[in-house]
Amino acid sequence: MSDTPVLKVENLTKHFPVRRGVVIQRTIGNVQAVDDVSFEIKRGETLALVGESGCGKSTTGRVILGLMPATGGSVQFKGEEMAGLSQGALRRMRRHMQIIFQDPYASLNPRMTVGQILAEPLAVHQIAEGSAAEARVRELLQVVGLLPEHARRYPHQFSGGQRQRIGIARALAVNPDLVICDEPVSALDVSIQAQVVNLLQNLQRQFGLSYLFIAHDLAVVKHISDRVAVMYLGKLVEIADKRTLYAMPRHPYTQALLSAIPTPDPTSATQRIILEGDVPSPLNPPKGCRFHTRCRYAQPRCSAEEPLLRDAGGGQRVACHFFETIPTAVSIKPADTTGSKFDLRLAAFEAAKKRNEATPAV
């Protein structure tokens, strides 16, 4: 059982039907939000899922948790298939699978105080009640940078960043095995980002937690992730160890994504890759490789045949017919981009993280 991954996703698919008509509705198509996605997360590992807005990252996380029904594929948690579970079994499993939602405004009940919000999962899963629950609530507020007296306030009395910290505390309340982090630090400033990332890493070391970290901030992803999966228009196009991905991206889309890091030096060797055109509609994605309409290396085969996620060595997998022949000169090493905005952002993040190294874990 020790070799069993905490999460195993195989050929996961989520399509949203598009219907037309008022009295008699008929399906005229499907929005292919997630299409044939497969990956594993080991115990104590952090897999980052990155990509453009609308590529299906958040939908993938919600389908994994059962918040949305899957159209197809398999989701196994600690070796147990989640499809077909009864409501009672699914509730028991959800204690071990939690999510930090992206929107801090919509994810908290406006009619409940913060104390009630944090105590609710403790009561639902029969972990603590009474004075024990109150003590746990105070501890959770402290570790995410809030004060004990905040337990008596309502969500509308907090800023967006503070609300996100409350959402993080709620997810950590039941000591889960897997946490799906849906851009959990995007609403926070640098110092609080460092505190929260440090907290998540402390919890991971202490309890062996596993994270699916959905984000677009490359600095945060580089610090917290073990592996990185790149998603485009509902499909994974590359997955690799973070050092390999940052040093030698093989897929043209990954190269373009990492080349977007700004460098103020006009003599810099790093060249920005400008993608032409807009992201195609997931209602009618391109045939063959979904990226071929924007890829500068596209060939006739790309529009006719869909590429498989193939092994590129060293645990790196790439969904491209011609990744062996594509130049890898777009080597992106954030620590080496001296003077860039990304490097300054990275340095600020490092400094703030060191100031928060003493942050206690739950």
Question: Residues 257-294: pLDDT tens digits?
Answer: 888 765 556 666 567 787 887 888 888 899 999 999 99
Work out the pLDDT band at 1, boundaries 50, 70, 90: very low
| Cα(242)–Cα(226) distance, integer angstroms | 6
- Amino acid identity, residue 48? A
**Domain coordinates in residue numbering, the chain:** 7-21+30-229
| Cα(204)–Cα(242) distance, integer angstroms | 18
**Average pLDDT for residues 33-42, to the nearest whole number?**
95
| Cα(272)–Cα(78) distance, integer angstroms | 42
Q: Could you tell me what percent of the chain has a pLDDT over 70?
A: 87
* pTM score of the predicted model: 0.84
Q: Which helix (H) or strand (E) holds 259?
A: helix 252-259
Q: In what order do the strands lie in the sheet with 178-182?
A: 97-100, 178-182, 210-214, 46-50, 227-232, 235-241, 316-318, 310-313
- Amino acid identity, residue 257? L
Q: Which of 3-17, 274-288, 344-358 has the highest mean pLDDT?
A: 3-17
Is 7-21+30-229 assigned to CATH 3.40.50.300?
yes
pLDDT of residue 299: 93
